[in-house]
Amino acid sequence: MHLHRILFSTALIFSTLCFSAGSANKAVPSDSVGNVIVDFSFEQGGKNWTIWGSGSAVKDVARGGKSGLTIHNAEPNWNGAEQVVVLPEGASGVTLSGWIKTENVVQGIESWENARISIEFHDELGKLVGGYPPAAGQMVGTADWTHFTRDYRVSSAAKTVKVQCALGNAAGTAYFDDITLTIRNRKGEQLKSGRLSGIMEEGEWYPLNTKFSTTGSHYVDWSGLLDAPAGKHGFLTVKDGNFFFENGTPARFWGTNLVEKNCFAPDKEIDSTVSRLAKMGVNMLRLHHLDAPWTTPNIFGNAEGTRKLSKESMRQLDYLISRCKEKGIYIFLDLLVHRDFTEADGIENRPPDLGGKQVGFFSKKIIELQKEFNENLLNHVNQFTGVAYKDEPAIAMSGIINESTIFGAFSGDILTEPYRKELTELWEKSEFSKRTNGPAVNADKEAGGDDGSGGDVANVSDGDGADNRDNHYLKLAVFGLDWGNDRPKLRLNSEQGDVLESIKFLSSVETAYFKDMSEHLRKVGCRYPLAGSNMPLPLLAMLRNNAELDIIMSNEYWDHPQVWKINNDWDNMLSAPFHNRSQLRDPKASLIQNKSYFRVDGKPFIITEWNHCYPNEHVLEGVPFMAAYASLQGWNGVLQFDFNAHAFDNHALGVGRLRNIVLAVQPEDVAQWVVAAPLFHRGDVKAAPGLVVEGITQEQLESIPNYSNMLETNYHLPFITRVAKNFDGKHTGNPEEYAKYFSADSGIIRSETGELLLNSKDGFMRIETEHVQGASGFIGGASLEFPLFNAEISNRHASVYAVSADGKELTSSKRFYLVVTGPAKMKGQVYAPPRTQLENEGEGEVLVQVVNGRVTFKNIGGKKVQIFPLEINGKRGKAMSIKKVKGTRGALELSKGRTLVYEVVVK
């Protein structure tokens, strides 16, 4: 699962907003008339504030009242509190002020890494407006309560303002109190904060019928797309960058994840789950979090130690795999995910994070325990099939270590003693630590900038020009991540360290680990392809290291709830803030664009986790977008996160949806899988014939920022043709050849196949192939014309797709499905004014927006059309009336339907 990412405001770019200089004053009043900050003095426990970091809390240290905000960082980190305010119409300026007190605050590497009160402005899409303005106030060292204030001019593009109190990448303790924000118009008059409206408040809504039989499907039965039983063609192999089975049959995978206790469910639940998955069109199931200590049961039976597999858990896992095999569902078997290495395993000091993050690549004892687990698991004989896991061709692939890299975690380097000592000893024994010729010079901590060129690499001194290094060893650098613009890049976090040799050393450790683990698995008898890790950080060295294995895999989420801002309370995800952006309006930051970065030429590529997360209001964009463009890119597998093993009842859909990222309980996704599964399996959207390969240079691989911006600069490319990377520095394909498919002015990007169109300005996409036709996104008011049908939808945000059910071209098909999707929400759900957090999560009943408009059928291979609404269990409703329209086969008035999926029969 894509774990926490820490927010780093790491690039204080001078804003295009105008501002006045901040001032410090100890005699200014604590608040002012017109303050729009809720709980400005923290007397209400931090109401409306998002507070994150283990050392961040409302405590009794205050300037005037009883409470204030306290932030303590034992080590440099970015922790604090923030509140988002909606700017009203006519806002032209704001004034931010507040009080700070500090104790032993040590500034980070950069000048802005300190105790600070800051501000950001965002547009209607949630994008930063005008860069990062100067902070209203910032302090280091130890100082008593000090008042700061600063004026800012508001751009017309700004819709919200974020106020943040933070101890940013600095150690020590900071206190904050009496935070004031006032808004004024051009006349200087004070204004009240506003409230944004959105899709979820529009239109008419109806309760979704969630009745569900324990063996039923989701709307339709696509199990015929599966080639059962799994393994019939032999083991999966890799050839020419794609998947083939041993007998030469090509393979690609569309599927999902089953996680933690759901992998060890009772037989009846497993039967239900596997039946549902097969009918949805799943031909790969990733088994994830088998080893997590926080689930009951886990693969160890929740024993004190983690060196023995539980007989009871393995019995249920065996049953699950055997049932999947019968249905034609292949298994992606995760190895190390969230295992808790404990004293009972012979570990004196627990690793800094579950799953051996960072330490699992080099710690001798941790590696030994990984090998022992892998050997026990692969030698285990399935009691239902009589086949050992290592000999089971229905197990198609494995990932060695989940979301991890030697370069650090999502928050940067997390090593603790004795692990840092163990790594340092390896460094000192390596060739990379030996003294090099030439004097040491100051490191350029911003080497390479954002241009992806890598910049100059330098050895670090203590800053006075003298070479104070040990006579024998260079210093091992400690790296962090620069999350500026939400695209993490490698940064230097230590004052000393040789950047070039440190990156080379860490890469050598990572590749040696992958080689060692792969060879051990082969020695055990594993015959299927292996992947390294699916860490979604765009670090070039990490990507190159993973390319030493058979497969490249990666994870990504659109608008993942920011659980790191609620102290990683995963059980309360719906209270976490989110961005609430549309992918289709922001292709440069979209899942397709981000994942295209990770494709390596000549290697199969599989997305092991993805989701467009609820309560983002644009969830219905995700499934058709991912399926269509993954097909255009020729990706080899796409696995959505995740699936729920439990049978539905009248309320389970809404209750389950509290998980935010569970495919099985997202109504929009469940419906649109009716389109996506056949689209991907059958290749209804063709892979692009072209290919642009970016050649990554050695300099880029071995320097900061360890990042390439080629796809940022040419963000339209993945929506036109295939893209990939190699590591020989040689480019193939010319991006300029594809400029004709893209208009920056209109925002329209057409695929070179002519089958896909993305309009980022208006925020919608179109698919037009022989077997799938339709559109999704902001399609309200548009006249949609396709060979099979025309559609006019009045809802602002919706989708309408037709997909062939009998495999024939739509214009000659005798049976096809019409999927018409509006947004879904829980009854009573209310968004906070900025629409980036929920004010009320709602109740269990799920509501779906009525789609208003009509679909007119015009080019159908028959004279009579019957249209049946489908229940979620696949049951047909009463045939709907069709309005006669001259020159057509009739029109369906969508407002009369109370379903998301229709079956159309042509006679």
pLDDT band at 579 (very low <50, low <70, confident <90, very high): very high
Please compute the mean of the pLDDT values over residues 825-833 and round it to a whole number: 94
Q: Three-class SS of residue 749? A: strand
Residue 134 has pLDDT above 80, yes or no: yes
pLDDT band at 217 (very low <50, low <70, confident <90, very high): low
**Mean of pLDDT over the chain:** 90
Closest CA to 149 of 182, 184, 110: 182
Of 240-254, 364-378, 424-438, 589-603, minimum mean pLDDT range = 424-438
Residue 225 has pLDDT above 90, yes or no: yes
Please compute the mean of the pLDDT values over residues 780-794 and round it to a whole number: 96
The H or E element that residue 374 is part of is helix 364-379
pLDDT band at 546 (very low <50, low <70, confident <90, very high): very high
pLDDT tens digits, one per residue of 304-332: 999 999 999 999 999 999 999 999 999 99
Q: Report pLDDT for 215.
A: 53
Residue 22 has pLDDT above 70, yes or no: no
pLDDT band at 659 (very low <50, low <70, confident <90, very high): low
Of 366-375, 567-576, 791-800, minimum mean pLDDT range = 567-576
Task: Tell me which residue has tokens 């529009």.
Answer: 202
The one-letter code for the residue type at 359 is V
Crossing angle between the packed helical segments 364-379 and 499-524, to the nearest 10 degrees: 30
The one-letter code for the residue type at 662 is V
Closest CA to 164 of 68, 56, 80: 80
Q: Report pLDDT for 467.
A: 41
Distance CA 140, CA 389 (A): 57
pLDDT tens digits, one per residue of 154-198: 999 999 999 999 999 999 999 999 999 999 999 999 999 999 999
pTM of the model as a whole: 0.92
pLDDT band at 571 (very low <50, low <70, confident <90, very high): confident
Of 19-23, 194-198, 606-610, 639-643, minimum mean pLDDT range = 19-23
Closest CA to 87 of 195, 219, 214: 195
pLDDT tens digits, one per residue of 197-209: 999 999 999 998 8
Q: Report pLDDT for 210.
A: 75
Contact 81, 99 (CB under 8 A): no
Q: Report pLDDT for 860.
A: 79
Please compute the mean of the pLDDT values over residues 715-733 and round it to a whole number: 97
Q: Report pLDDT for 437.
A: 43
Percent of the chain past pLDDT 70, that is, above it, reads: 90
Q: Report residue 785 CA to chain centroid gap.
A: 33
pLDDT band at 862 (very low <50, low <70, confident <90, very high): low
pLDDT band at 861 (very low <50, low <70, confident <90, very high): low
Q: Report pLDDT for 484.
A: 76
DSSP code, position 575: G
The one-letter code for the residue type at 500 is L
Residue 19 has pLDDT above 60, yes or no: no
